[in-house]
Amino acid sequence: MHQDPLQPIPNTSQDNFLCAVSGVKELQSDEVCAADKSCLTVNYIKKRICALEGSSVNISSKYSSSKYTKSKAKHWSRIIWNGEKEERMNVLKTDHFTYHEDQEKQINTLSIKSVKKSDSAEYRFMHQDDNTSQKPGTVLIVTDIKVKISPSTEVTEGDRVKLTCSTSCPLTNNKNYIWYLNDQLLQLPEHQNKHLVLDAVTTQHAGIYSCAVNTQRDVRSPEKTLRVQSSSLMIGSSILDQINGSLVTGYVPRSYKVAVIKSLLKKPSLDPDVLANYRPISNLPFISKVLEKVVVTQLLQHLQRNSLFEMFQSGFRAHHSTETALLKVTNDLLIASDHGLVSMLVLLDLSAAFDTVDHSILLQRLEYVIGIEGTALDWFRSYLSDRYQFAHVHGVPSSYSRVSHGVPQDSVLGPILFTLYMLPLGNIIRQHGINFHCYADDTQLYLSIKPEKTDKLVTLQTCLKDIKSWMSSNFLLLNPGKTEVMVFGPEPLWDRLDHMITLDGISLTSSLSVRNLGVTFDQNLSFNSHIKLVS
């Protein structure tokens, strides 16, 4: 039976009614009175106010009752919560707290001058006959204002710096901010938000910063110093100018985006006469790689600072490698075996993964998932567009061809862009409760079950189906012919679990040994096969 998510909540009076979303009862509707009844109803103009310390605040309530209108026994109460118990104190009229009454409109306003952090509380409008009312009032939060600088207060020329005029809650009556550098008001757009972004900073940006709310310029944040180190000692000034020019304008010159393609065998053991066994490697101009290095450094800082990395992606990350990926997977499989569980490992294979990346989808990931915008997003759009390549075989160059999709292999930025393109995959796998680990485009899934619970493999099968569907919609080609399966556990179960998993209509046969990130796995995890291979 469908249950309406909006549930009526009776007030302490049997004639008063309000409603709230089930489970979120603190978000209540206005209070109404039943027909032909005389009730005490109080509603608040604003349920929540965030105010800057030192400002003045008006908290208004609209009441409906002849008692409230005629009686002078009206007051405001200040509510402090101690756990689940509320402590209530009457707000006495002083120079700090004043009352204002509009009997015609039935509005009573509590004014607080020069609010302090200690004024933070819930405020309720009360009648002497209504001291038991539990209806939430207006919550006032008083915050200070301060400057935050990221990634650091000490940066190098060319870095991207973001200064934030920070408060502990979103200010109720403000969306515009002003900034000061060395006590001088900066000339910024009229509707400047709380972020001041300095793309490709120079030494001219160094100094003492402070901020304020445009409507309360007298309340200024404490000062914060930004130090900018010159990078001209590290690289030539002409190269520095080119890099900064690219970052400031969001434009990558076409000459930076022409790649010479050289083909290398994917594995030494593959047949060199089969063209499919080669991997195209892009040789890019030196200046292009320097520019990419500057960008990737800032991008990695952004990803690290905002915890945007996939937890189980070991590719192209500091302190991660094929070794860390293999250790995690092997340890999980051994622990499962110690607990008497049987495990199935699936090694997915993608065909030409780097070459099929769709630029439009990648740019959407960067904007809506990673949070890149403005000039920075324009730079990535320019980096991906108007790319050209030509092959160079035995000293003979081919004609140029335009690259409309993919990220260049052997570039500095390409691999990290590919891992960002793959970010949604982890959430798809997690929805099915399947263990996984990735290294770039190599993804391995593994599920450990009790020997008698082979029906649990249906979950793995469903997960593979969803992965195939997601990859198809993102122009990635999952190759069933090269996808491998291995069963770990008691030998009698090897044949029983064989052929139980299919991919794209193809039954996946369990292998006696598989090559996983350069290491040979056997079904007993003894690594005897690998030792023989390398010794």
pLDDT tens digits along 436-482? 999 988 999 999 998 888 888 899 999 999 999 999 999 999 988 88
* pLDDT at 22 > cutoff 60: yes
Last residue of a domain, one of 113, 142, 171: 142
Domain holding 486, by residue range, is 238-534
CATH number at residue 218: 2.60.40.10
Nearest to 437 by CA among 454, 459, 422: 422
Interval 270-289: pLDDT, tens? 898 888 888 878 788 888 99
Asked if 34 and 118 sit in the same domain, the reply is yes
More confident residue, 7 or 37: 37
Helix 237-249 crosses helix 374-384 at what angle (to 10 degrees)?
110
Q: How far is CA 93 from the centre of its chain?
A: 47
- Percent of the chain whose pLDDT exceeds 90: 40
Q: What is the pLDDT of residue 8?
A: 42
Which of the four pLDDT bands, split at 50, 70 and 90, describes residue 134?
A: low
Q: What is the mean pLDDT of residues 132-136?
A: 65
Residues 410 and 291 in one domain: yes
pLDDT band at 5 (very low <50, low <70, confident <90, very high): very low
Q: What are phi and psi for residue 515, nearest 5 degrees? A: -95, 115
Question: Which H or E run includes 377?
Answer: helix 374-384
- Number of domains within the chain: 3
Same domain for 437 and 497, yes or no, is: yes
Residue 52 belongs to some domain of the structure: yes
pLDDT in tens, 171-207: 877 768 899 998 889 888 777 788 898 888 888 888 8
> Is residue 178 in some structural domain?
yes
The model's pLDDT over 498-526, given as tens digits with 9 standing for 90+, comes to: 667 888 888 888 888 899 999 999 888 88
Q: What is the pLDDT of residues 291-315, one digit of tens each?
A: 999 999 999 999 999 999 999 999 8
CA distance 327 to 57: 58
In a domain, 5, yes or no: no
Nearest CA to 185 out of 222, 220, 159, 161 is that of: 220
Euclidean distance between CA atoms 2 and 71, whole angstroms = 46
Answer yes or no: do 71 and 216 share one domain.
no
Of the candidates 174, 197, 229, which is a domain's last residue? Answer: 229
Give the integer Cα–Cα distance in Å for 396 and 398: 7
- Do 313 and 419 contact (CB within 8 A), yes or no? yes
Give the lowest-confidence range in 32-41, 53-62, 340-349. Answer: 32-41
Mean pLDDT of 252-269: 86
255 and 115 belong to one structural domain: no
Mean residue pLDDT across the chain: 84
- The secondary element (H helix, E strand) that includes residue 326 is helix 322-338
- For residue 442, the model assigns a pLDDT of 92
Residue 4 lies in a domain: no
Q: Which two tokens stand for residue 184?
A: 């001088």
Pair (203, 350) in one structural domain:
no
Q: Judge whether 208 lies within some domain.
A: yes
Largest Cα separation within the chain, whole Å, is 100
Is the domain of 412 the same as that of 452?
A: yes
Residue 353's φ and ψ, nearest 5 degrees, are -60, -45
Q: Same domain, yes or no, for 67 and 176? A: no
**Residue with the two structure tokens 């040789």:** 283
Nearest CA to 207 out of 247, 259, 142, 161 is that of 161
Residue 110 within a domain: yes
Using DSSP, state whether 499 is helix, strand or coil: coil
Q: Are residues 83 and 188 in the same domain?
A: no
pLDDT at 68 over 70: no
- 88-125 confidence digits (pLDDT tens): 888 888 999 999 988 888 898 999 999 999 999 999 98
Residue 127 shares a structural domain with residue 158: no
Residue 14 has pLDDT above 70, yes or no: no
Question: Do 370 and 462 fall into the same domain?
Answer: yes
State the amino acid at position 209 in one-letter form: Y
Same domain, 170 and 266: no
Query: Could you identify the residue written with the tokens 């292009």?
Result: 288
